[in-house]
Structure 1
Amino acid sequence: MLHKRSWAHMTRRVTGAGAVVEAAEDMRGGDTAWLDAAYSDTTLVTRIGTAHADLTAPGTVVPYGRWPTSSSTLPSLVVTMYRHAALADTSRLLVTTGTGYGTALACHRLGDAQVTSIDIDPYLVQTATDRLNDIGLRPHTTVCDITGELPADFDRIVSAVAVSTVPASWLTALRPGGRLVTAIAGTCLLVVADKTEDGGASGYVTPDKASFMATRAGDDYHPTLPVTDVWEKADGDGETITTSPYPLLYVPDSWDVQSNLHLKAPGIDHRIHQHDDGTVTLRMAHPDGSWARATAPSRHDAPTAVHQGGPRRLWELLEKIRDRLNTWGELPIHHARVTVAPDGRTTLSRGRWSATL
């Protein structure tokens, strides 16, 4: 088993948005907490916004609205992705860096000469390189935007960051017959696709689920949440007022529903509030100005009142997805085919259903 000690002291535990980021035990202090964390099958967040665990004092409060920007992915998921990649002994592999743990696993499987590890953050690349070197591993490492031009050509690309659509540069860098494995941003979908003769790729949505941080172009994510006045409108009377036949569903709690909704209308933000009397209110808002608010009293037999406004009816989009789920017992994203055009345009399809990213 590969030793994760080189990365353990950079881990932090995130207790929620705006919460305190707590330092892991210093491994020189003799406490074994770092070892337990390093060998646990869980994701260890190592950077929130621009604050990296190595460079942030214990007790630092992360401002509300800042999101994780780097982590050490849970080991079982890394191995699952490598299995989907169908690594051969001769495969030249491109992976994303993060803490470098996934890179270390790839080096163990293929040999470090066949592994290239990239990240957009210079500090992450340098730190991972140093720690990999400390344990005798010397893969190719470089600072690079994974959505742009890649540093070489590869037989396999395995991305532990999520993309909104497959970058055309991946298809250029993939050798004939090469394979890519990645997650789709905003969804739980993990896709596998093999390069085709026309320069595109063809594959499928795997049965496994994965949620990764999305790619970013700079040091942090640009604010993408709906502007304040959209949320203010979501507290007022709707242009459309209806009664929902369904019990309330907080969309982020249902990955399948959220995945389908994101494919239909990417960029929706969700909020939930439970009132003192037991009433629950859900709000949805989109940067285009669309919003929805649904309120259900604590009585289970009471109707759910829905207010909607803006250019689109977000709650109606959600209910169409729930209608399909109730009718067919599953959503079409499961077992969907994936077709990637040479320009990177990515389409998911199953039967008469399709969605282009």
Structure 2
Amino acid sequence: MNWTAHAAHLADRVTHPGSRWAGPVAGIPRHEFVPRWWHRGTEGWTLNEGEADHQRWLDAAYGDRSLITSVGPLHADHAEQDDHPVGLPTSSSTLPSLLVRMFQHARLGNRDELLDVGTGSGYGTALACRRLGDLQVTSIDVDPYLVDAARARLEHIKLRPSLATLDATGELPGAYDRIVATVGVRPVPAGWLAALRPGGRLVTTIGGTSLIVTAEKQQDGSAVGRVEWDRAGFMRTRHGADYPPGPREILAAAREQDGEEVTTGPYPVVDVEQAWDLASMLDITVPGILYG
């Protein structure tokens, strides 16, 4: 399959010719990292298989959008065509422009050692390897299958970073000049600051919000951070194959059942989860709120 022209076009869209990320984006076969993915339509989550429609595969993989690879505990690689999982997305291949922006916030130097938190499909790890060299990249994820699949797909394109299955909210192995997380956390785990070398830089998002936070570690072990003039949304960290059960089941039932009084309001209803700025404001003022 001729993917190189598609990758070059993607690089033109998400970088500029002088960017150090143009080469990595143009040179990575993203479709190989997402052979199957989930699409949410009128019937819920449905499976897409790249080999069944090469043009659709190329359009999806080299479009600047996120591709959901796991819903709940079910990864697309393990699904059947008639599967329609119910639950929250638990892994994805993040849209390339956002990956590039997160790495740019890290201000990577050529000799920096990077910890990539949230391996996912492995595509972001591949970009980092092409930018820095695979010996300078470590990537971790809580899901053993994601790590194993990413390792195989990275090796297929001759990239061999250090990969590990690990709960990122705990203690981290090693020491790093840069830590970039493509998962949302709240609060920032203490282990991240401990693993960051003095002078190092951290880039992450605050879980439940669209806020990108960066911080530099000081010589005395403290950190100085800021909220960037940029926005991003990532899945929250989890401690296993799926998020723990919660009151979302009650909300799902409420959507289908009539209450004691049913009325029609005069104003449109906002889908709060899709309105990032509004969702961020609410999660800061009333953290943990759920939307029906």
Q: 1:264 to 1:197 in 2, by over 3 A?
A: farther
Give the distance between the partners of 2:259 and 2:222, measured in 1 at CA.
Answer: 46
Aligned to 1:349: none
Match for 1:67 among 88, 113, 116?
A: 88
Matches within 5 A, 1:9-88: 9-15=35-41, 19-26=44-51, 31-63=54-86, 66-88=87-109
Report the residue type matching 1:38 in the other structure. A
Q: CA deviation at 1:197?
A: 3.3
Tell me, what secondary structure is at the counterpart of 1:131? helix
Report the residue type matching 1:191 in the other structure. V
Aligned residues: 258
Give the distance between the partners of 1:205 and 1:247, measured in 2 at CA.
Answer: 31
Match for 1:165 among 179, 187, 190?
A: 187
Report the residue type matching 2:169 in the other structure. T
Q: CA deviation at 1:161?
A: 0.6
Moved more, 179-188 or 4-13: 4-13
Aligned to 1:255: 276
- Does structure 1 conserve the Cα–Cα contact (< 8 Å) formed by 2:38 and 2:45? no
Give the distance between the partners of 1:30 and 1:45, measured in 2 at CA.
Answer: 18
Give the distance between the partners of 1:209 and 1:12, measured in 2 at CA.
Answer: 24
Deviations 1:321-352 (A, max 9, x none): xxxxxxxxxxxxxxxxxxxxxxxxxxxxxxxx
Give the distance between the partners of 2:101 and 2:169, measured in 1 at CA.
Answer: 23
Instruction: Identify, as 1 or 2, the structure richer in helix.
Output: 2
- Does structure 1 conserve the Cα–Cα contact (< 8 Å) formed by 2:210 and 2:277? yes
Give the distance between the partners of 1:19 and 1:184, measured in 2 at CA.
Answer: 28
Larger Cα-atom Rg: 1
Match for 1:181 among 196, 203, 207?
A: 203
Q: CA deviation at 1:39?
A: 0.8
Moved over 6 A (4+): 229-232
Give the distance between the partners of 1:202 and 1:178, measured in 2 at CA.
Answer: 11
Q: 1:259 to 1:48 in 2, by over 3 A?
A: same
- Does structure 1 conserve the Cα–Cα contact (< 8 Å) formed by 2:212 and 2:230? yes
Match for 1:3 among 9, 29, 34?
A: 29
- Does structure 2 conserve the Cα–Cα contact (< 8 Å) formed by 1:180 and 1:192? yes
Give the distance between the partners of 1:187 and 1:157, measured in 2 at CA.
Answer: 19
Deviations 1:187-206 (A, max 9, x none): 11111111123423212111
Report the residue type matching 2:37 in the other structure. T
Aligned to 1:137: 159
Q: 1:179 to 1:125 in 2, by over 3 A?
A: same
Quote the RMSD (CA, aligned, Å): 2.5
TM-score normalised by structure 1 residue count: 0.67
The runs of 5 or more residues in structure 2 that have no matched partner are 1-25, 262-266
Tell me, what secondary structure is at the counterpart of 1:270? coil
- Does structure 2 conserve the Cα–Cα contact (< 8 Å) formed by 1:44 and 1:73? yes
Aligned to 1:268: 289
Match for 2:125 among 103, 124, 138?
A: 103
Q: 1:227 to 1:265 in 2, by over 3 A?
A: farther
- Does structure 2 conserve the Cα–Cα contact (< 8 Å) formed by 1:20 and 1:59? no
Tell me, what secondary structure is at the counterpart of 1:219? coil
Q: CA deviation at 1:228?
A: 4.0
Q: CA deviation at 1:235?
A: 5.1
Q: CA deviation at 1:14?
A: 2.5
Moved more, 121-130 or 260-269: 260-269
Give the distance between the partners of 1:152 and 1:165, measured in 2 at CA.
Answer: 21
Aligned to 1:287: none
Report the residue type matching 1:142 in the other structure. A
